[in-house]
Amino acid sequence: MFINHDFFMKEALAEAEKAFLKREVPIGAIVVYDGNIIARAHNLRETQKDPTAHAEILAIKEASKTLGGWRLTGCSIYVTIEPCPMCAGAILQARIDRLIFGAFDPKAGVCGTLMNLLQDERFNHRVEVVSGILEKECSEIMKKFFKGLRNAT
């Protein structure tokens, strides 16, 4: 079955744009089940004053409500930037089947960069990882955001 990763990543990028406009780190995430988007979110750490309000965590919570349970078997999560340890852990705990992300995170990414938490054989669940989808676009919005922060100081 053909999956249009670009289409879904563009939806995650739209969420990242929302975060950018709120002066949040521009990361977006969507959860897809049976070809349909069932959850979408963007970073809200500053807005909610909550260190756990990452796009992935918020999207996973919404998807769990939508499906009526914590097991998100059969779901894929699209994220604009490689997940951090907290978010990768949540993806594992939610039993999500597949992670698709755009750009690597050299400072905090644990889905191939610093380590590969999602495919560690010591866990009872492993997640398929697809990287580099619309990597340039996902990277550019981050660069634009942090350049703006540097120029503001």
Q: Which residues are catalytic?
A: 56
Give the strands of the sheet with 28-33, arranged side by side: 36-42, 28-33, 75-81, 98-103, 128-130
How far apart are alpha carbons 92 and 53 in whole angstroms?
17
> Taking a C-beta distance cutoff of 8 angstroms, is the pair 89, 119 a contact?
no
- Residue written as tokens 């809200």? 44
Q: What are phi and psi of 42, to 5 degrees?
A: -140, 165
Q: What are phi and psi of 58, to 5 degrees?
A: -65, -40
How far apart are alpha carbons 111 and 86 in whole angstroms?
11
